Amino acid sequence: MKIGELLKSEFSISFEFFPPKSQEGEEELFNTIKDLESLRPTFVSVTYGAGGSTRERTRRIVHKIHTETKLTVMAHLTCIAHSKEEILEILQDYKNIGVENILALRGDVPKGDFQAPKGACKHAVELVKLIRENFGGWFSIGVASYPERHPESPNMEWEIKYFKEKVLSGADFSITQMFFDNSYYYRFVEMCQRENINIPIIPGIMPITNFNQIKKFASMCGATIPQKLVEMLEPYTDNPKETAKRGVEFAIKQCEDLLDNGVPGLHFYTLNKSKATLLVYQAIKHKIPFRALSA
Write the single-letter amino acid at 23.
Q
pLDDT of 295 over the 50 cut: no
165 is a catalytic site residue: no
How many other β-carbons are positioned within 10 Å of the β-carbon of residue 209? 20
Packed helices 124-135 and 84-97: angle between N→C axes, nearest 10 degrees: 50
pLDDT at 294: 40
CB 171 within 8 A of CB 199: yes
Shortest CA distance to 79 belongs to which of 106, 115, 57, 119?
Answer: 106
What average pLDDT does this structure show over 13-22? Answer: 96
**Which residue in 10, 16, 133, 157 is the catalytic one?**
16
Q: What is the mean pLDDT of residues 200-219?
A: 96
Supply the mean pLDDT for the chain. Answer: 94
What percentage of the chain reaches a pLDDT higher than 90?
Answer: 87
pLDDT tops 90 at residue 117: no
* pLDDT (0 to 100) of residue 118: 80
For 236-259, what is each residue's pLDDT tens digit? 999 999 999 999 999 999 999 999
User: How is residue 236 annotated by DSSP?
Assistant: G
Pick the range with the lowest mean pLDDT from 4-8, 179-183, 197-201, 220-224: 220-224
Top pLDDT among 167 and 9 is at 167
Q: Is residue 196 over pLDDT 60?
A: yes
pLDDT at 293 over 50: no
pTM: 0.95
Instruction: For residue range 65-105, list pLDDT tens digits in order.
Output: 999 999 999 999 999 889 999 999 999 999 999 999 999 99
Cβ(242)–Cβ(236) under 8 Å? Answer: yes
Mean pLDDT value of segment 93-120: 87
pLDDT above 80 (res 50):
no
